[in-house]
Structure 1
Amino acid sequence: MASMNDKDYYAILGVEKDASAEEIRKAFQQKARKLHPDVNKAPDAEERFKEVSEAYAVLSDAEKRKRYDAMRSGSAFGGYGAPSSPAGGGYADPFGGFGGNPFGWGPFGASTARRRRSRAYNPQAGADVVFELTVDAESAAKGVRRGVTYQRYVSCDVCHGSGSVEAEHAETCPTCGGKGHITVDTGLFGVMAMTCPECEGTGKVVADPCSACGGTGRTLSASEIVVEVPAGSHDGDEVRVGGMGNAGTNGSTSGDFVCRVCVPEERLTRRQANGFNLIGFALPFLALGLVTSTLAADAAFVAVLIVFGAYLVIRDRVRWTARWWRNAGVATLNGLTNGLVIALFVTALFSCTMAGPRVRGYYYF
């Protein structure tokens, strides 16, 4: 397998070295659709698909891309074609740094540059992948099917998600003896307790880390899914597909793919939401002025809030759908709640001020 130094991710995706993030994303989508094993039956399609996914995983992340460019130019720590360890660490790992120390030295003085970043056995459930799908109101009302290509962590094919190539179970961490922490004598500052850098506090480590996933049990890849948006859907509704999110580490459960439906015709813009908030905020002061007969004094303040709020709403196009007006009502209610709290506080403060200090049964003003 070619090392990362030998791979030209820009050439793999067919983009220039100064390509923007959007250009890289579009190039990946085009390549992924053509090379996906479910679509392309060529013998090398799967391998090329994984290579494209790997290239996108690096170039789509600003920090990883910076390190990759530096490594390719020979300016990174440990560059100039430095070999990598079997576990995928190496001198300059563009995916994870230098083992926590840019000089490659651990807490015991031993060089960690050739070791992988961590072989901690730490099963954690995978996170959900949230994707926002924009459809028009007509499609949302009738229902629609859409194919989606997205990035996620999948279970490693080599170790089948366990993180270990041969061993069936994790082993006790040899550094901390399974405690999850170690003590270090710093001399001047005395003995200090710290999280074990080998197992990262879990007390267990992967016996023989898989070189494909680095012992985590999962790798980054591109996936495709067909989302069924049911008829009668509205803005903000969610369609959940179980198990199609990120795979968990070391064989733990996967998250879900969550598709959030976005219907622009039913959605308030940020300006409109702020406008309805202002209108709602003004309503308690308007009611207070009518009840206490002080509306004339508050008229200017209330008018400014309502007029400016209405301007923000009208500035962006008003939608004439029931869901849009329901969202408008929610935004107005939020503003009304905040305005009511402040109006009551101002009323109580004004009442205390007017009462004045009481001395011998009399009020002095």
Structure 2
Amino acid sequence: MNDKDYYAILGVDKDASAKDIQKAFQQKARKLHPDVNKEPDAEERFKEVSEAYAVLSDEQKRARYDAMRSGNPFGAAGSPSAGGYPGGYQGGYGGFGGFGFPFGGMGGVGGFGAQRRRGASAYNPSTGADVVVEVKLSREQARDGAKVAVKYPRYEACDNCRGSGSVASEHHRACPTCGGTGSIAVDLGMFGMGQARMVCPECGGSGKVVADPCPVCGGEGRTRVQAEAVVEFPAGTHDGDLIRMKARGNAGTNGGETGDLVGRAHVAAERLEGRAQSGFYLLGMVVPFLVLSAFSGTFSMFLMLCIIPLVMGVFMIATDDVLHRSALWWKRGLRVLANGATNGLFFALIVVWFSSCTQAIFLAPFRYM
């Protein structure tokens, strides 16, 4: 059993939130970092704090640690009722729980916590993501063209820090926790495994932090807002067409480029979906059976078997407002029908061949009577 009290090492309660644990680690790591603290035991205490954070910042590792300290070495993940194995083995090489390692999560090149996580003060410029909005158009709007106003949530550059994340002129500095390397060492000596590297939780692996974090955006350089825009669709627009508006999407972090706003046309008269799509596919599956059975002389028998799915397919299509559908809707329907027929042809060949052979075997004795 692990005798170390990781909660006491970080100075947090056992029911502390993930945010409280991260905050406590950052405070202690800054004070104990060997480059800052010259006390003889500073490096050892820094590794101990890093080890505690590596366990408590991961939900699965923390659950196993709590279970071990409470006297249940397998924890929730390893209990038979949870579908696991003793020790929490999940298969593969991603976690060593099934081989006695109590916290798992060593998968990947990065060792502990290979997943990159951005800390509150991390400086990591990145391009903002595109925002895609579905814009409903009538058949007339799609045909003649239309300008449609849309509202959508997005990140925009923070006005207080002008998108840099810092209110000072110097935008970033080397991370005090990792010294600018982007990773920290975790001592695994108690498991006989030496050391492992983990992504620095303060800078998220970038090696840089904001020198003077903006109080409005928290150093990220962007804030969440409700934006408005007018998307202009040209005449002759069809369902699924895209209109891209440059730099109207999410702002990047720490001054990164802004993504685009993408308006996607949703023309109900042309969009094939739901039961109509299933109906075309069902008809496609039935057609090969009827055609092949007609040539093999077993049409009447297969008609009885196919009558129900045939009627269902026609009903599903006919009840989907077919009178107000465009030519493109029918074209897409025929494409789905052809796809269903392709998949059904293989099964139809087998079934019709088997039926013909069976019929020939049963009728053979009567040919000589």
- Specify the TM-score bucket, using the shorter chain as the normaliser: 0.5 to 0.7
Counterparts of 1:51-130 in structure 2, within 5 Å, are: 98-99=18-19, 101=21, 104-105=24-25, 109=49, 117-130=119-132
For residue 177 of structure 1, what is the aligned residue in structure 2?
Answer: 179
- Deviation for aligned residue 1:336: 2.7
8 A Cα contact 2:289 2:352, kept in partner: no
Q: Deviation of residue 104 (structure 1)?
A: 4.6
Q: 2:248 aligns with which of 244, 247, 261?
A: 244
CA distance in 2, matches of 1:197, 1:349: 65
- Cα 1:117–1:193 change in 2 (3 A) is closer
| SS at 1:99 equivalent | helix
Asked whether 1:273 is paired with 2:265, we answer no
Counterpart of 1:333, as a letter, is A
Match of 1:195 in 2: 199
| 1:127-178 deviations in Å (ceiling 9; x for gaps) | 1111111121112211111222221101111222222222445333222233
8 Å contact from structure 1 (residues 98, 117) kept in 2: no
Separation in 2, partners of 1:129, 1:188? 48
CA contact (8 A) 1:99 1:118 kept: no
**Structure 1 counterpart SS, 2:203:** coil
Q: Which residue of 2 aligns with 1:336?
A: 341
Offset at 1:98? Answer: 4.5
For 1:314, the equivalent position in structure 2 comes to 318
Distance change (3 Å), C-alpha of 1:174 and 1:305 = same
From 296, 300, 303, give the equivalent of 1:299.
303
Return the letter of the residue paired with 1:157. Answer: D
Deviations for 1:25-64, whole angstroms, at most 9, x for unmatched residues?
xxxxxxxxxxxxxxxxxxxxxxxxxxxxxxxxxxxxxxxx
Count matched residues.
254
Q: What amino acid maps onto 2:212 in structure 1?
A: D
Matched letter for residue 159 of structure 2: D
User: Contact (CA 8 Å) 2:151, 2:227: kept in 1 or not?
Assistant: yes
TM-score, normalising length: structure 2: 0.60
Question: Aligned pair 1:221/2:225, yes or no?
Answer: yes
The CA deviation at 1:242 is 1.1
3-state SS of the aligned residue for 2:122? coil
In the TM superposition, residue 221 of structure 1 has moved relative to its aligned partner by 1.2
Q: Residues 67-94 of structure 1, C-alpha deviation per residue, up to 9 Å, x if partnerless? A: xxxxxxxxxxxxxxxxxxxxxxxx9xxx
Q: Which moved more, 1:330-339 or 1:251-260?
A: 330-339
CA distance in 2, matches of 1:245, 1:305: 46
Letter in 1 for 2:135: L
Which letter does structure 2 place at the counterpart of 1:299?
A: L
Q: Letter of the aligned partner of 2:246 in structure 1?
A: G
Structure 1 pair 223–163 and aligned structure 2 pair: CA distance change class (3 A): same
Contact 2:129 2:258 in 1 (8 A): yes
TM-score computed with the length of structure 1 as normaliser: 0.61
Deviation at 1:223, TM superposition (A): 1.6
CA distance in 1, matches of 2:175, 2:341: 57
For the pair 1:327 / 2:332, whether they are aligned, the reply is: yes
CA shift digits 1:204-233 (9 cap, x unpaired): 222222222111111111222111121121
Cα 1:301–1:208 change in 2 (3 A) is farther
State the SS of the aligned residue for 2:308. helix
Tell me which of 145, 153, 158 is aligned to 1:156.
Answer: 158
Q: Give ranges in structure 2 of 5+ residues lacking alignment.
A: 1-11, 30-45, 54-117, 359-369
Query: Structure 1 residues 253 and 291, CA, compared in 2 at 3 Å: closer, same or farther?
Result: farther
Return the letter of the residue paired with 1:328: G
User: Structure 1 residues 291, 178: CA separation in 2 closer, same or farther (over 3 Å shift)?
Assistant: farther
Q: Which runs of 5+ in 1 are unaligned?
A: 1-90, 92-96, 355-365
1:231 aligns with: 235
CA distance in 1, matches of 2:282, 2:254: 50
Q: Given the alignment, which residue of 107, 115, 133 partners 2:135?
A: 133
Hey, what's the Cα distance between the residues in 2 that align with 1:349 and 1:171? 75
Q: CA RMSD in A?
A: 3.3
Comparing 227-236 and 183-192, the one that deviates more? 183-192
Change in Cα spacing, 1:341 to 1:194, as seen in structure 2 (3 Å) is farther
Query: Are 1:269 and 1:316, in contact at CA under 8 Å, matched by a contact in 2?
Result: no
**Aligned partners of 1:99 and 1:117 also within 8 Å:** no
Q: Secondary structure at the match of 1:177?
A: coil
**Residues 1:304 and 1:123: Cα distance change in structure 2 (over 3 Å):** farther
Q: Which amino acid aligns with 2:153?
A: Q
- After TM superposition, give the deviation of residue 100 of structure 1 in Å: 6.8
Q: Secondary structure at the match of 1:127?
A: coil
Following superposition, the deviation at residue 186 of structure 1 comes to 4.1
Instruction: After superposition, give the CA deviation of every residue in 1:173-219 in whole Å (9 maximum; x if it has no partner).
Output: 22223332222114432433221111112222222222221111111
Letter in 1 for 2:251: A
User: Is the CA contact (8 Å cut-off) linking 1:167 and 1:207 kept in structure 2?
Assistant: no
Q: Which amino acid aligns with 1:182?
A: I
